[in-house]
Amino acid sequence: MPPRTTPTQRQRRLGAEIKKLRTEAGLTAEFVAGLLGTDRGKISNIESGVRTISPDRLRTLAAHCACADERYLVALEEMAQPAKHQWWHAYRGKISPGMLDIVELEWHASSIQTTQTAHVPGLLQTDEYARSIFAAVLPPLPQSEVELRVAHRMDRRSVLEREGAPAYTAYIHEAALRMLFGGRAAAREQLRTLIEWGERDNVQVRAIPFELGSFPGAGHAALYARGPVPQLDTVQLDTAHGPAFMHADLQLAKYRAHVGWMDRMSLSVVASRDFIRNIIKEL
């Protein structure tokens, strides 16, 4: 199979895990190339996500790296399988690869926790609310591009509605709940929709009131996606230049602590619902 020109974040993550297996076992790329019957350049390409690796070769490498974590290896094998056609593939070449990477991350997550301080989480947005966010991008986007992004964002919600949907918890600061994206009517509709989402069995909406004061990670939004095993958890951060993905052990520990704090300190599901209803009355 020829090399990929633009590997996805999931493919790059598999490569990073393979490199981690090799380096922690103290094996050189040359040794692994000989072990797998290939050349060093292809090992480099596998570790960067440009080339695939078969489940059999993955098992051979794991055996020589003395990796006996069966759940971890099964999860890596799943990542190594050829990608099945999914709904977001229709957007490839139309929107940025980073936005597609977020969708794929959400789709394969066992659970998702997100913290938002400026706006409602993307998965829970209404079309009018999302449209107002994309219309504020600089430099301004053509209306056709705005509508394409809105359609993509609405399609993203299917991850919460499909069979086997991941558990989803949204920690939303009061500042985000009071932002009037799209005007008062659009904001009211967004908050009503937020309450409706929070009534689903797999979705929790938790509010963080102003009176709580300071909190960790106050300066940015973050999404914590849990993988099939803790080693494959991923943190996604929003930046002005697109999404950033992190999975180093210390980074994961930091953001686990962040969402743990949110879980302990934010309002309960029921109290959050009442809190949002009161904001709706004030709009």
For residue range 117-155, what is the model confidence (pLDDT) as tens digits? 999 999 999 999 999 999 998 899 999 999 999 999 999
Check residue 216 and give its pLDDT: 82
Same structural domain, 126 and 240: yes
CATH code assigned at 236: 3.30.870
Instruction: Specify whether 108 is located in the same domain as 230.
Output: yes
Q: How far is CA 182 from the centre of its chain?
A: 25
Kindly state whether residue 89 falls inside one of the protein's structural domains: no
Same domain assignment for residues 214 and 146: yes
pLDDT recorded at residue 2: 58
pTM score, two decimals? 0.92
- For 58-72, 172-186, 214-228, which range has the lowest pLDDT when averaged over its residues? 214-228
Contact call for residues 177 and 281 (beta carbons, < 8 A): no
- Distances 112 to 77, 165, 220 between C-alpha atoms, Å: 22, 10, 17
Last residue of a domain, one of 45, 80, 115: 80
Residues in the chain, total? 283
CATH of the domain at 58: 1.10.260.40
- In a domain, residue 86? The reply is no
- Residues 186 and 113 both lie in one domain: yes
Both tokens of residue 274?
């009442």
Question: In the predicted model, is pLDDT for residue 229 greater than 90?
Answer: yes
pLDDT value of residue 124: 98
Range of the domain at 152: 94-282
Number of structural domains the chain divides into:
2
Question: At residue 164, what is the residue type?
Answer: G
The DSSP symbol for 110 reads: S
End-to-end CA distance of the chain: 57
Give tens-digit pLDDT for 249-277: 999 999 999 999 999 999 999 999 999 99
Question: Is residue 229 classed exposed, middle or buried when 0-12, 13-18 and 19+ CB atoms within 10 A define those classes?
Answer: middle
Residues 59 and 99 in one domain: no
Is the pLDDT reported for residue 4 higher than 70? no
Minimum mean pLDDT range among 68-77, 192-201, 238-247: 238-247
**What order of strands is seen across the sheet that includes strand 167-173?**
203-208, 167-173, 111-116, 222-226, 234-237, 244-246
Q: Are residues 48 and 141 in the same domain?
A: no
